[in-house]
């Protein structure tokens, strides 16, 4: 047992925050920015731009990333990554590759720090991929992206399978020191461009993640809304009625700028487990 003072002055290292980069650095202001060694859950309905967001964020930060793209076709994911990295549209990338210009993209992406894994959708398989990553790069990734959690579990075992998967991912974050970003579905209640609430997260997987974001996307305005519905050390609104709005460029897979905070009533911001509301 240690006293509170001993705990505060111990030798354990606090989780190192990932570099705060535009346009996502606004989250750091409210203490809702990911750190290494954490599980971060990105929840959303189909078409809410989860994959686009995490790819754009990791590329903008230059994070050394291992992306487990279980929910993506290899060709599709590769083309999207090339578009986001080069600023070309996905259609232009496909046309260029068909025309025999794949070498141009290979040269342009020489310094891209994102590695992709499409198979081995078991924890044993993920371990093999991580061992290969460590052997090749000489260090663990800063960020591990799991897209999508449902592709990693046997859904016939229901809630228990998802809970066990989250425990395994928690161990993975502890061993590698990586920030583990987990993409997960929310209840398809109705077609909406608003982020789902914390209660809408399938199987209520809210205990293990230190931060939970939910996403909503408007395909007409290309506006992506990100709500912080859980944050142990920052501000959160479990109702998701308070959200950060970002402009996107879906043709290039980019998040191009921060618009501002939207608020549609509800609980408002709460810091950690405090009961006082706070509006930015």
| Structural domains of the chain, with CATH | 16-278 (3.40.50.300)
**DSSP element (H, E) containing 133:** helix 123-137
Distance, CA of 242 to CA of 229 (rounded, Å): 9
Encode 208-251 in three state secondary structure: CCCEEEEEEEECCCCEEEEEEEEECCCEECCCCCEEEEEEEECC
pLDDT, tens digit only, all 280 positions of the chain = 454 444 444 545 667 889 999 999 999 998 999 999 999 999 999 999 999 999 999 999 999 999 999 988 999 999 999 999 999 999 999 999 999 999 999 999 999 999 999 988 899 999 999 999 999 999 999 999 999 999 998 766 688 999 999 999 999 999 999 999 999 999 987 668 999 999 999 988 999 999 999 999 999 999 999 999 999 988 899 999 999 999 999 999 999 999 999 987 655 555 543 322 232 2
Q: What is residue 189's predicted lDDT score, i.e. its pLDDT? A: 75
Q: How far is CA 216 from CA 48, 93, 264, in A?
A: 5, 27, 14
**DSSP element (H, E) containing 127:** helix 123-137
């Amino acid at each position: 047992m240690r006293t509170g003072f001993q705990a505060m002055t111990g030798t354990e290292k606090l989780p190192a925050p990932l570099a705060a980069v535009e346009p996502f650095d606004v989250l750091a202001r409210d203490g809702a920015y990911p750190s290494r060694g954490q599980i971060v859950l990105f929840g959303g309905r189909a078409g809410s731009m989860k994959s686009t967001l995490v790819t754009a964020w990791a590329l903008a930060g230059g994070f050394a990333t291992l992306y487990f793209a279980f929910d993506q076709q290899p060709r599709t994911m590769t083309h999207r990554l090339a578009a986001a990295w080069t600023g070309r549209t996905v259609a232009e990338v496909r046309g260029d590759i068909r025309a025999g210009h794949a070498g141009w993209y290979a040269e342009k992406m020489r310094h891209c720090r994102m590695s992709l894994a499409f198979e081995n959708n078991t924890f044993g398989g993920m371990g093999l991929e991580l061992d290969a990553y460590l052997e090749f790069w000489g260090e663990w990734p800063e960020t591990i992206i799991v897209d999508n959690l449902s592709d990693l579990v046997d859904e016939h075992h229901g809630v228990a399978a998802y809970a066990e998967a989250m425990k395994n991912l928690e161990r993975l974050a502890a061993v590698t020191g990586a920030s583990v970003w987990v993409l997960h579905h929310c209840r398809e209640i109705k077609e909406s461009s608003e982020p789902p609430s914390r209660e809408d997260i399938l199987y209520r997987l809210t205990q293990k993640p230190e931060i939970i974001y939910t996403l909503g996307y408007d395909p007409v305005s290309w506006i992506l809304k990100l709500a912080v519905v859980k944050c142990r050390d920052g501000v959160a609104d479990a109702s998701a009625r308070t959200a950060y709005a970002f402009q996107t460029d879906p043709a290039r897979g980019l998040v191009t700028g921060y618009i501002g905070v939207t608020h549609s009533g509800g609980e408002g911001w709460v810091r950690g487990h405090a009961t006082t509301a706070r509006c930015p």
